[in-house]
Structure 1
């Protein structure tokens, strides 16, 4: 009888011990579990391209502008109670549904015919496996490992996306407005929360900028005009001028645009008059240099800008398929009390197209 009681007691004790171990193990499993929540920040970016000049003869594949990288942030935190650190792997996907430009696997069409955009993706550090990758054939997938405390703050990683504007074919001469670009959508999947979960796009598709396709190139980058020595007696009063000397600007053009030009005083870019100020190194005083157009009218100077309607911009005609000569003349003009010496003046010219 005593033996039976001891056997029953031991069996009961073992059962109780097993129940306690199982219960503790269950509690420990629950306290170590954490669910991550992830999203993106710094999203819905617009593509702001500014003013882009496309040179004459730009071939398909030429990058005409590389914009400042956008910092697209991916972030995760862990939801649960407890003091344990935990981690998760996030798989992100950047997607583009806009058509690819013909002949390219990573350049997508914009609203301007012949101009596309390429997105290059980088992430510093070892957390994400992205180094100079482009969005090929509509998508780019990458993985980031996140570590953080349960119920802690978001852990953030920077994904830098650089937009480059690329020539994909013939571009119309003159100025074109960039108003739309590919939407770069983003979705994510995590190993503990599943997915894919759609997020706000990295790029919204909005765009702004002006594309200027040069119709003409300069055949001679620098033109020197040597004026003959002038007698101050022939400049008897302010405004008096000497005989002009002819010179020309020579351009190589493609057909299709009205070409406009602005001359700018290099010494004083704010000069809107008709006399170039003397450059450093001049020893004469009281004189300036006038430049006259083909009609013999003194040219007024403007800002160094290709913007349509720039102050003192004027038309030099329709671009031919070949050489375009811009005939000009230069002469002295008296501007004040004359002192004999050497004269030097500098001007630049800027072309615009319509």
Structure 2
């Protein structure tokens, strides 16, 4: 009897032990399967972005963006405390580049150049909008997106990515038509369970570019009606310019324009006598005989600084005139400025102006 009771007790303990291990395993499995999801999307999904209609500014330099979008991915994460097997808890956001080729510009990747058209002459740059970090665009590279999502409470958030289409060469101006299709992935975003070291178990979003819309160079929006205006300043006595910085002879003039709607008008003035001049004082020509004086051009009372002769957007000292639809002239004025002891004579300065339509 005692022997039988002892055997029964052993069997009961074995059963209790078995069920105890089963309970632990079930709980480990439940925690390990916590999934952080992209909002309203399935576990493994594909999504696309498009730049829409693209207008390329004239003379845009290689390496400059010709189109930009901000791409958003919303996510919802449940509670995820530390659990078997890694016992870390929470989630992390991982970014995987997917482009095939590096380019001459840092942070810019390119699809295989076998693709004709848009992808042969452009690259893509991705930037984390929350940290400002330019992400590695190339395939087989994983980067942590940002702060770890802790597992103590449910969390909802937004992944914000700036995606730029970068001009690589002037071949882009030759494209007359874009196909309506998409190419291999640009990048992949994964919502990773930190309890599991297995990328296949992470919720991932594959992001591709959908080619749509049109691509065309920006047309010249304005015609200059007086391309070489000559401005005559009144004679001024040297006594009015007896101190450095003194001004006199303020004279207004206009650059006349005929414009059609569709762009923003910018202009750069260049000192023809000293092309490297970036100040707001125009150098006199060599045949000027006056000494100690220069010329200053102003727009709406603000001195204009000189810059390189270039239509490139963002050119040094380029300034905004206005929308082409409402621009018919550029009102300016010019005056003498003393920059040293003044002696009488003739004063002549020559500046060029370069229009840019953006």
Bigger fraction of residues in helix: 2
Q: TM class by shorter-chain length?
A: 0.3 to 0.5
Q: Which has the higher Rg, Structure 1 or Structure 2? A: 1
Query: Which TM-score applies when normalising by structure 2?
Result: 0.44
TM-score normalized by structure 1?
0.44
Please state which structure has a larger fraction of its residues in strand: 1
